[in-house]
Structure 1
Amino acid sequence: MSTPKFSDRPDGDRGFNRSMLIKLVVVAFLMFGFGFALIPMYRAICQVTGINNLVQRDATVREARNTQVDMTRTISVEFDANARGLLGFKPEQTSLEVHPGEVMTVMYDISNNEGRTIDAQAIPSYAPKQATEYFRKIECFCFTQQTLKPNETKRMPVVFVIDPKLPKDVKTITLSYTFFELNKPAVPQPPKQSAGA
């Protein structure tokens, strides 16, 4: 009994293979589109829910001008920085004593140690979580995407004010930024070795 050759197979298999190929290509495009849309979706969800709101800038500037400084309270603000890959990212100072209502500036340094241009976005987070609504950023590198040329270093400011309405039991706020590279190139996979090698 002989095995059928590829040319002897019915056209049904070819139709099935073609259909499966089309489905797989569509799934790959959908996955790529979803990955590409993650950051805009994240921003929209944050804006709707009020979590890590990156677009409060204009209202915050107006508020900061009308804020009275509460000299009777001091809040310790701690600064943290995280980055992936060969991005060097750190605050110039790790903590600061602040009076609620006082406009303060802290600088962050970021270095691109890659041999290529990188587009990146910083995403802030706060601890305790309730501090999010009282920590007002007037100017921040997290408002826009950052482009760093190969081996470039930038100093970037964060100008902020803590709302005097911050609950009295909050004595320390931690502001943490994570820098994510946008459109990172895929890592090439090493070629598979054959079992006989």
Structure 2
Amino acid sequence: MSIARQNLRMVGKLVVVTAGMFAFGYALVPIYKHVCEALGINILAVSERQVPGGAAKLPANTQVDTSRTITVEFDANARGPWQFRPAQRSVQVHPGQLTTVMYEFQNMQDRRMAAQAIPSYAPRQSAAHFNKLECFCFNQYTLEPGEKKEWPVAFIIDPRLPKDVTTITLSYTFFEVGARVPPAPTASTADTSPRS
């Protein structure tokens, strides 16, 4: 067999292997989806089937404790010349219920600002049961002069929250990151010129 014929045969094999790889790549998504549905690990597939028609109802969340109501109060503290406040001061939620609230920010300075928020909870034992799924406190943000933003806080109160806790206060302190710190004051140098 000549070398040209061997090369042609090798090119043919490579083309078949390449075509097989592309076919497998395209088939991988539906295969993955069917395997996940069969094993019950693809929760998105359920909602994808139900959303387009709109008639299908999602199953009730059995993790929500409707026998209890918790008042969640929101507090905002700003360290610097900017506005920072919750869109609403409080909400009533059931333990296990997903809730989203918005916080509003505005940079009142005439310069760009990088800032971050730190949360705190009252009473203290509620912190272990306050589960945030989305929160602006996880990141630093840059605000241009005068820029306004709204950021969400999505949370669930764990049903294992002690029964005697009926109110939780979520408090944020919003502060500038990397702010220029003025130099420490030094003792003023006394005027050493002779006085008459």
> TM-score, normalised to structure 2's length?
0.62
Q: Offset at 1:158?
A: 0.2
For residues 110 and 158 of structure 1, the distance between their equivalents in structure 2, rounded to whole angstroms, comes to: 13
Number of residue pairs aligned between Structure 1 and Structure 2:
133
Aligned pairs for 1:156-167 (under 5 A) are 156-167=151-162
Change in Cα spacing, 1:67 to 1:194, as seen in structure 2 (3 Å) is farther
For residues 121 and 185 of structure 2, the distance between their equivalents in structure 1, rounded to whole angstroms, comes to: 40
Q: 1:135 aligns with which of 130, 134, 156?
A: 130
User: What residue number does 2:101 align with?
Assistant: 106
User: What residue number does 2:71 align with?
Assistant: 76
For residues 96 and 73 of structure 1, the distance between their equivalents in structure 2, rounded to whole angstroms, comes to: 14
Residue 136 of structure 2 corresponds to residue 151 of structure 1? no
Q: 1:168 aligns with which of 154, 163, 170?
A: 163
Name the % identity.
58
For residues 83 and 101 of structure 2, the distance between their equivalents in structure 1, rounded to whole angstroms, comes to: 17
State the Cα RMSD in Å: 2.3
Q: 1:178 aligns with which of 170, 173, 191?
A: 173
Partner SS state of residue 127, structure 2: helix
For residues 101 and 186 of structure 1, the distance between their equivalents in structure 2, rounded to whole angstroms, comes to: 43
Contact 2:130/2:156 (8 A) holds in 1:
yes
User: What residue number does 1:94 align with?
Assistant: 89
Partner SS state of residue 130, structure 1: helix
Deviations 1:167-192 (A, max 9, x none): 10000000000012111013368995
For residues 184 and 124 of structure 2, the distance between their equivalents in structure 1, rounded to whole angstroms, comes to: 40
- The aligned amino acid for 1:185 is R
Q: 1:123 aligns with which of 115, 118, 122?
A: 118
Structure 1, unpaired ranges of 5+: 1-65
